[in-house]
A and B are shown apart, each in its own frame.
Chain A
């Protein structure tokens, strides 16, 4: 289980903001935690998938995509803030993510 620090959260937030600014071609200043990924940024679930791959590589995570998918079915993500929260849980719990349900 990875140790999460305030620095990790800032790092994740920075990656997510930069990613959506580039992918959705919007000014980073226009992105905030309340921005709706689909309605406000014109994003999609493939971007979510790409972000997961970025974090898997960066933090050397061992987690199956379907584990994230199963978690996401019960905890759907619609805003940037929710996405960052989920990425933090993924980094922290990896393949044990679904154990949070128990």
Chain B
């Protein structure tokens, strides 16, 4: 397999540090510190207190996104610096900001600015309500729609991770009720996320106006590496397409499962997750196909990439 078939993947949140490779990826710690200091200067000095050993900020939705973004930018920068050039990129949910940075479409600072303002827009439209999100694994789509119909039709499937793996967004009480019913229906794994924002659902439609204004003001250029939309699985090649994607990414559902299928249908077989945490690699365990998944460290150690 040549390098021309490589995909870079970008996660959204830093949730699980069980398999944190940040201490062992060569060059990671120093570069992460550089990006962290920049972010601290730019958006919030509190970020400089991030501790890679205690993993603070896990329960802070905005800071968590900042950290995930910085981790992704660090990994992508390192990999490219080592000579690895992806042919296409894909961002999981808010992972789109790091994908845009890696594509050359935005600067590191603009990515931070987008994260900050997107979060503020979302808080503005959700602050008086109790929302949440959950994952349900083991039921099919018909089962999920049935549970939604029985409970609260405004709850939405905000993402599909696999044939039997779904993420839902909605009112907290509805999400709790659906999870409870899903367990009785035979769901093998359920989890209510520690978030108060119903990402990728119509509840956030009212962010459109405010976020469009911001997106129209920022400086974007056409991406050097195309990004595959996780919303409709089309390639984003232009500023116009990216602006539209950025705005709709807050309130439209995406489909990670279909994104993977599209990428493999296009012939891509090597996926590298630009993060030290391997969250997307774990999700990929439930996606059939012959694609190979690498963390930055395993990419560095793999004989598939002799240039390393």
Contacts and interface: CB of A to CB of B under 8 A. Distances in A.
A72 B285 contact: no
Given A65-B138, A65-B164, A53 B183 contact: no
Name A's interface SS.
Answer: helix
Contact of A65 (B18, B139, B285): B139
A100 interface: no
Contacts of B138: 49, 65-66, 68-69
Contacts of A48: 188-189
Contacts, number: 53
A1 interface: no
Name B's interface SS.
Answer: loop
Contacts of A53: 285-286
A14 B259 CA distance: 35
Contacts of A46: 137, 189, 282, 285
Contacts of A70: 185-186
A55 B298 CA distance: 26
B192 interface: no
A73 interface: yes
A41 to B, nearest CB: 12
B193 to A, nearest CB: 15
Contact of A50 (B18, B140, B164, B286): B286
A67 interface: yes
Kindly state the interface size class of chain A when it binds its partner.
10 to 19
B186 A49 contact: no
Interface string A40-54: 001011101110110
A50 B285 contact: yes
Contacts of B184: 73
Contacts of A50: 285-286
14 contacts: A44-B189, A45-B188, A46-B189, A48-B189, A49-B137, A49-B188, A49-B189, A65-B164, A65-B188, A66-B185, A66-B186, A70-B186, A73-B183, A73-B186
Interface of A: 42, 44-46, 48-50, 52-53, 64-70, 72-73
Given A45-B137, A45-B188, A49-B137, 11 more contacts: A44-B189, A46-B137, A46-B282, A46-B285, A49-B286, A50-B286, A66-B138, A68-B188, A69-B185, A69-B186, A72-B186
